[in-house]
Amino acid sequence: MYGPADAHTSTDALVAGVIAAGGVPVLLPVVPAEHAAVQLRGLDGLVLAGGQDVDPESYGRAPAADGAWVHRGRDEHELALLAAARTAGLPVLGVCRGLQLANVAMGGDLIDHVDGHDAGARFALDLHPVSVEEGTLLARATGGGELAVNSLHHQIVGSLASGLRPSAHAGDGLPEAAEALEGPWLVAVQWHPELMGDAPGGQDLFDALVRESSA
């Protein structure tokens, strides 16, 4: 036994989603932000995965309290990855935290807590409907209409960045997805498509990312 140690990880489901779409996943460990662009060399697309809360300091609020589930180094790294991916013209899929991070990166902010949005172990059963906006990249990827999606978050998009447009809403009017108004393909969703199998809004998002990465 070597005792507890930090690790750089990705869920099996996220890796499997990329593979099932015909892509070859490459895991990018957290490194100093100045190295992010180097990590993207030779890659064709980027997934911003779920995970820790985005530190409020990233969008102009007071830093998170001690003990909060944040990783400032990861925030800085992924903000740099997203900027480098946009500069390089790479398509980007944001998953849960990935939507929140993209919104912050482009000038928006977050609501740091909402009740009743984390289904926990019941995520596969406690689905909720979201309505996809017609004519969006998300509609093209999923077929549009109404999707039944999971909910594993407690932070949500607050003020939407001016460079993004909402592409899906929940019944309470809260944004559940957004995408870039211009520039390289960027679609970000509040749910976890890697946990939805072949249901609309699940594997089809990875398929769309790999398609765009191969174009």
pLDDT in tens, 111-150: 876 766 565 677 567 789 999 999 999 999 999 999 999 9
User: Is beta strand 186-189 parallel, antiparallel or unpaired with respect to 128-132?
Assistant: unpaired
Does residue 5 belong to any structural domain of this protein?
Answer: no
pLDDT in tens, 52-96: 999 999 898 888 888 788 899 999 999 999 999 999 999 999 999
Q: How far apart are CA 64 and CA 114, in angstroms?
A: 16
Which whole-number Å values give the CA distances from 215 to 11, 18, 58, 100, 184, in the listed order?
27, 16, 33, 27, 12
pLDDT for 1 beyond 60: no
DSSP character at residue 63: P
The amino acid present at 119, given as its one-letter code, is A
On whether residue 3 sits in a domain, the answer given is: no
Give dist(CA 29, CA 39) in Å, integer: 9
Q: Considering only CA atoms, which of 92, 121, 38 is closest in space to residue 205?
A: 92
Q: Residue 35: pLDDT above 80?
A: yes
**96 an active-site residue?**
yes
124 inside domain: yes
Give yes or no: 212 in active site.
no
Q: Is the pLDDT of residue 188 over 80?
A: yes
CATH number of the domain within which 170 lies: 3.40.50.880
2 in any annotated domain: no
Domain of 194, in residue numbers: 12-214
Average pLDDT, the chain: 92
pLDDT tens column, 8-18: 889 999 999 99
- Res 182: pLDDT: 97
- pLDDT for 61: 87
Query: Which residues are CB-contacts of 29 (< 8 A; sequence separation ≥ 6)?
Result: 8
Q: Is residue 39 in some structural domain?
A: yes
* In-domain check, residue 109: yes
State how many domains the chain has: 1
pLDDT of residue 122: 73
**Looking at the domain assignment, is residue 1 inside a domain?**
no
In a domain, 4, yes or no: no
Which entry of 71, 96, 179, 212 is annotated as an active-site residue?
96
User: How far from the centroid of its chain's Cα atoms is residue 206's Cα?
Assistant: 12
